[in-house]
Structure 1
Amino acid sequence: MKTLQHFFFYQAVLFFLLVSSTVLGQSNDIEKLDGSKVSVAEIDSRINTLMEAANVQGLNVAILNHHKTVFLKSYGFRNKPQGTRLDTSTIVYGASFSKAVFGYLMMKLVEEKTIDLDKPLYQYLKKPIPAYAYFADLQHDDRWKLITARMCLSHTTGLPNVRWFNPTEVNPAYDSLGVIKIYFKPGSKYAYSGEGFKLLQMVVEEITQKNIDELAQTKIFKPLGMTRTGFIWHDSFGDDNVAVGHLNNGDIDFKKKRTQPVAGGSMVTTIADYAKFIANVMQQEGLSEKMYNQMLSPQVTIHSKTQFPPITTQTTTENDAIHLSYGLGWGLLDCGYGKAFFKEGNGGSWRNYNINFIDKGISIIIMANSENGEKIFQELIETLIGQTCIPWKWQGYTAYNQQK
């Protein structure tokens, strides 16, 4: 009798493994925004062709259908000079994907009533904002009293993106003085600002007496099984499966193992881990409906001609048709496929892009460890999920096969 039970047990296990292999092997076609399908073979072929044409050394891709991950694959090298290949558990640099995760974390803290989106941030602190060394340059501009968490998350603080680079220049040179100032009345318009996220991080860490990595580990990463993700480096990540970046001059970009978290850009992750996070957001898990809707509702309409330089007087109506705007941690647009939210991540040799079409349940995540990575984003996205209304011109996009 036991022998027969064992037989049926092993048959069941074998059947499960066969089914799992088929699912993990991603043999099904992927659904695009217009309802058409693209096969895995077509995806592989197109990606390999684009990578070769644009000299992209490594690329990770995830696609969601019906709010769930249906395609997850890595291509190319985690370290080309060493000949080591990327896989879906390879640690890569998230760059400004960090801001999307931080925005989600903040909404959890708002829901828990740890912080209010509209209470001036200085009212949470023991000292005036300019009394903190990092923001000392603001001592002669009282407009810091106006800044709220909502403004930080929607990029409306008037603070620069990175204090070491002039936010009014297209290709700014590094400035060792790094004077920080407020360029316009907080809350009055959009201008991408990593320093705004830095300010909000400082406030949250003083309120909670925990750094943002501790908060994210507890509230996001561990609950979602994102075991290889952090705003700082964790020894548990190990050193045997970590990507380097590939610069166009041939240099290899080794990301330092951070011990201090930066809300705007220190997160390391894997394509498998980040797909879990995006699936969680798409499925509206972890937040109340009220918090979710607020996070992905327009806080400010964007009229700037380009996203960078962030501080500019040049405006346009070119993106009015797609309702280009910013929510809380995410960019927003609305076109023929309904509402979508997106986030870019750009740090030298690390180029990332994610866009999520809520009504369609379709997302794509691209993470490249190559300076040329983003040059194939438009063609890649249109091949894998279809024609979109992504404002490529506003984002300053240049394709691999066109002159800037």
Structure 2
Amino acid sequence: MNLSPSPSFARRLLRGCAVAACALASFAATAAPLPTAAALDAEVARAMAATGARGLAIAIVDDGRVRGVHAYGHRNERGDPLQTDTIMYGASLTKAVFGYTMMRLVDEGVLDLDRPIAQYLPKPLPDYPDDEKYVPWSGLAGDERWRLVTPRMLLTHSAGFANFAFLEPDGRLRMHFDPGKRYAYSGAGLLLLQFALERGIGVDLGDAMQRRVFDRFAMPNTAMRWRPDFARNLADGWRADGGVEPHDERGTVRAAGSMDTTIADFANFTAALVRGDGLTKRSRAEIVAAQLPITTASQFPTLQPELPKAQRHPHLAAGIGVVVFDGPQGRGFMKGGHNDTTGNTMVCVERRRRCVAILSNDVRAEAAFPALVRFVLGETGAPWRWEYGADMTFWTPSPYAQGEK
């Protein structure tokens, strides 16, 4: 009796083995282990020692669930410990929460991403008196292109504005290119959308974010303006030169970056965002869609020339409130936050619904962000050089010092 398999059977067997191998490989990739708490503690300790950072907090999300929240170092010069419920400045992470809130309003029929903001306002934008809460819109007088600007353009930083009006030589807002033409990071653009909401639609942004995000996702220590109870456990900040600055008590709601939060609270938002909680499938897809190619070498300065097509980052684009990228693990998204004493980042991988969120009250910690995110998530393809600029010196840990995950 011939017990050898027939050629057709052998081919089917090989195909079945190949499919099984692919399935196992896929499962292995999906089930790649996260670092243990002890390994993470050791890695963060090395990063803080190498960069001189005095305080850092980190949260890990896996399959859309918060798996770990950790805080390290100090919250002030006195040496009080940084804790997972310490109030920290959210900086431009506010923009990711704002983007999510806008998509909630889209789902509720309050906002249309592609309806010009001129149609929401009862009078022409340049006719409004200057208001320090927003931007002096009077600078747009005589340039009718402002009438073409839509919420989608504002949320994808493509309205044509500089980052803020005060960066202009005369302090007056102006349009540097036709709306929708290209990406140029602009906090002023988000303030314009806030203005349209509050003055044109009657939506109070602070209240909208409180009810739709902070209350919904168990964020009791997060707000868009200063609260006196924050003072009990508050993080001051360290500059690049090692100097200390007190926490700024921001009393005005600003879409571009007035949020105070904690790592525990922001972990809950990050998990909700990667799950898509509270959004229709269409609106969740809009957030991580490649809305507009990003064509510059780095995020700042915001109005730098576009690169020739061959030199651009091939997989980087504006999403809604975040930037999106394609890397070795598929689609990912990220958002950073920064000022002289603050370094924050959030990086998520869609396929695994895995994220890392880092808040630091010491701007020197930013040099360690790529290595720390890679330590937890593996290589994601996150555009760190674009985020921080080509001259940023990142911390690269010794492979012999990292130990086992």
Instruction: Check if 1:184 corresponds to 2:184.
Output: no
Instruction: Check if 1:127 corresponds to 2:123.
Output: yes
> Aligned residue for 1:370?
362
Task: Give yes or no for contact 1:159–1:181 (8 Å, CA) kept in 2.
Answer: yes
Task: Give yes or no for contact 2:349–2:355 (8 Å, CA) kept in 1.
Answer: yes
Q: Which runs of 5+ in 2 are unaligned?
A: 1-27, 131-135, 397-405
Aligned CA-pair RMSD:
1.8
Q: Shift in Å at residue 319 of structure 1?
A: 5.0
Superposed CA deviations along residues 126-166 of structure 1, whole A, max 9, x for unmatched, are: 22111122210110211101100000001100111122225
Alignment of 1:326-365 (within 5 A): 326-365=318-357
> Aligned residue for 1:10?
none
Instruction: Check if 1:152 corresponds to 2:154.
Output: yes
Instruction: Check if 1:312 corresponds to 2:309.
Output: no
| Aligned with 1:136 (options 135, 138, 144) | 138
Distance 1:249 1:303 in 2: 32
Distance 1:68 1:252, change over 3 A: same
Task: Give yes or no for contact 2:328–2:379 (8 Å, CA) kept in 1.
Answer: no
Distance 1:54 1:353 in 2: 16
> Aligned residue for 1:234?
227
Instruction: Check if 1:399 corresponds to 2:393.
Output: yes
User: TM-score scaled by structure 2?
Assistant: 0.85
> Aligned residue for 1:198?
191
> Aligned residue for 2:41?
44
> Aligned residue for 2:213?
220
Task: Specify which structure has the higher proportion of helix.
Answer: 2
Three-state SS of the structure 1 residue aligned to 2:166 is coil
Distance 1:130 1:33, change over 3 A: farther
Task: Give yes or no for contact 1:59–1:373 (8 Å, CA) kept in 2.
Answer: yes
Distance 1:153 1:91 in 2: 27
How many matched pairs? Answer: 360
Q: Shift in Å at residue 44 of structure 1?
A: 0.6
Task: Give yes or no for contact 1:301–1:324 (8 Å, CA) kept in 2.
Answer: yes
| Aligned with 1:301 (options 293, 312, 328) | 293
What code does the residue aligned with 2:53 have?
Answer: V
> Aligned residue for 2:258?
266
Task: Give yes or no for contact 1:338–1:360 (8 Å, CA) kept in 2.
Answer: no
Q: Shift in Å at residue 37 of structure 1?
A: 4.1
Three-state SS of the structure 2 residue aligned to 1:351 is strand
Distance 2:295 2:60 in 1: 30
Q: Shift in Å at residue 238 of structure 1?
A: 3.5
Higher mean C-alpha displacement, 382-391 vs 329-338: 382-391
Q: Shift in Å at residue 297 of structure 1?
A: 1.1
Distance 1:349 1:258 in 2: 15
Three-state SS of the structure 2 residue aligned to 1:372 is helix
Q: Shift in Å at residue 32 of structure 1?
A: 8.5
Three-state SS of the structure 1 residue aligned to 2:177 is coil
> Aligned residue for 2:247?
255
Distance 1:53 1:394 in 2: 23
Distance 1:278 1:341 in 2: 11
Distance 1:299 1:153 in 2: 10
Superposed CA deviations along residues 224-273 of structure 1, whole A, max 9, x for unmatched, are: 111111111123x3311010111133432223222210001111100010
What code does the residue aligned with 2:358 have?
Answer: I
Instruction: Check if 1:118 corresponds to 2:110.
Output: no
> Aligned residue for 1:70?
67
Highest Rg: 1 or 2?
2
What code does the residue aligned with 1:64 have?
Answer: V
Task: Give yes or no for contact 1:33–1:337 (8 Å, CA) kept in 2.
Answer: no
Task: Give yes or no for contact 1:155–1:190 (8 Å, CA) kept in 2.
Answer: yes
Three-state SS of the structure 2 residue aligned to 1:227 is coil
Q: Shift in Å at residue 314 of structure 1?
A: 3.5
> Aligned residue for 1:109?
105
Distance 1:340 1:248 in 2: 29
Q: Shift in Å at residue 196 of structure 1?
A: 0.4
What code does the residue aligned with 2:32 have?
Answer: G
Three-state SS of the structure 2 residue aligned to 1:84 is coil
Distance 1:37 1:292, change over 3 A: closer
Distance 2:289 2:347 in 1: 15
Distance 1:113 1:211, change over 3 A: same
Distance 1:253 1:288 in 2: 42
Instruction: Check if 1:380 corresponds to 2:376.
Output: no
Distance 1:193 1:241, change over 3 A: same
What code does the residue aligned with 1:213 have?
Answer: G
Distance 1:399 1:388, change over 3 A: farther
Three-state SS of the structure 1 residue aligned to 2:85 is coil
Distance 2:127 2:303 in 1: 25
Q: Shift in Å at residue 62 of structure 1?
A: 0.4
> Aligned residue for 2:3?
none
User: TM-score scaled by structure 1?
Assistant: 0.85
Superposed CA deviations along residues 89-115 of structure 1, whole A, max 9, x for unmatched, are: 000000000100000110111111112
Distance 1:250 1:32, change over 3 A: farther
Distance 1:47 1:34 in 2: 23
Task: Give yes or no for contact 1:32–1:386 (8 Å, CA) kept in 2.
Answer: no
Superposed CA deviations along residues 291-333 of structure 1, whole A, max 9, x for unmatched, are: 1112221110112122111112241545544x21011111001
Distance 1:78 1:108 in 2: 34
Q: Shift in Å at residue 55 of structure 1?
A: 0.4
Task: Give yes or no for contact 2:82–2:235 (8 Å, CA) kept in 1.
Answer: yes
Task: Give yes or no for contact 1:77–1:85 (8 Å, CA) kept in 2.
Answer: yes
